[in-house]
Amino acid sequence: MTDPDLSITDYDTWVMDLDDTLYPPDNGLAEQMKAHIRDYLRAFYGTDEAGARRIQSDLMANHGTILRGLMVTRNIDPADFLAFERRIDYSALRSDPPLAEALSVLPGRKLVYTNGSAWHAEQTLSRLGLSEHFDGVFDILAGGLVPKPHPDSYARFVERYAIDPTRAMMFDDRSANLAVPSQLGMATVLVSGPAGSRPAPYELLGPRRWRTWDVVGLLRSLTGEALRPSTTQEAIHRTSSPSVSEATASTRKPRARPN
């Protein structure tokens, strides 16, 4: 379990994807968002549910996000598309005190980097009880409506926050979103698998590349709290709590620190 690259002093910037990274993907929020997007596609293309699903899949595969695909292929107004977020029911999201605590003891900046909107990120972080633990939210608007994994999105992100990639660690549930960060020199963590599903909180995939199924457990390892996964009770809590999908960006006020 000892990993010389997994030393907290090596990092001053922590980059977290939002949806399916800061909350598990099993609370129905992602499905809810996909359904709202299909509503939009049905109306826009005048198609049925099967047609909307096909278009949704094609746009995602070819452009990374539905929004990007619609902008490139149909020149839509992003605001019209993003209006679906206002219809999301966020009640499935619950606060996550173990994650809040793990984040609170990380030194340096903590940033959310999402393909969704800042508005969606704010709703999500608030529900999760994590709002005060992040110093900024970089959303799809901040990225010039160019989403991860396009290299231009990362270039804007790194410039916006003057990030030294060699001192940054990025977490994301999509491996495709971690390829460019890795090339830039960031340490990366692929968030994949149900929390608490294995005895160790993470595994090494390659040089400065990890995979975890327990973000809290990995953060605890970094902060030296103990090389142990989060407890079963916490794992159950996390598995049954929150979830959403990708949102937007904006700069948030620096979080208040007790001291």
Query: Which residues of the chain form contacts with Mg ion (CB under 5 A)?
Result: 17, 19-21, 173
Distance CA 77, CA 99 (A): 36
Distance CA 187, CA 170 (A): 6
Q: Does residue 85 sit in helix, strand or coil?
A: helix
Instruction: Report, in Å, the least distance between residue 139 CB and Mg ion.
Output: 13
Distance CA 137, CA 200 (A): 30
Residue 13 or 124: the one with the smaller Cβ distance to Mg ion is 124
Q: Which residue type does 173 have?
A: D
Query: Does a cis peptide bond (omega within 30 degrees of 0) precede residue 165?
Result: no
Residue 36 or 42: the one with the smaller Cβ distance to Mg ion is 36
**Bridge partners (DSSP) listed for residue 171:** 16, 189
Instruction: Report, in Å, the least distance between residue 178 CB and Mg ion.
Output: 11
Residue 33 or 216: the one with the smaller Cβ distance to Mg ion is 33
Give the ranges where the chain is alpha helix by DSSP (H).
29-45, 49-63, 66-74, 78-82, 97-104, 118-128, 151-160, 179-184, 215-222, 232-240
Distance CA 202, CA 174 (A): 16
Residue 148 or 220: the one with the smaller Cβ distance to Mg ion is 148
Q: What's the length of the chain?
A: 259
Q: Residue 252 in contact with residue 37, Cβ under 8 Å?
A: no
Instruction: Report, in Å, the least distance between residue 171 CB and Mg ion.
Output: 9
Instruction: Report, in Å, the least distance between residue 15 CB and Mg ion.
Output: 12
Residue 21 or 188: the one with the smaller Cβ distance to Mg ion is 21
Instruction: Report, in Å, the least distance between residue 244 CB and Mg ion.
Output: 9
Torsion sign across C-alpha atoms 135, 116, 163, 165? positive
Instruction: Report, in Å, the least distance between residue 47 CB and Mg ion.
Output: 27
Residue 21 or 131: the one with the smaller Cβ distance to Mg ion is 21
Distance CA 246, CA 155 (A): 19
Residue 17 or 122: the one with the smaller Cβ distance to Mg ion is 17
Instruction: Report, in Å, the least distance between residue 259 CB and Mg ion.
Output: 33
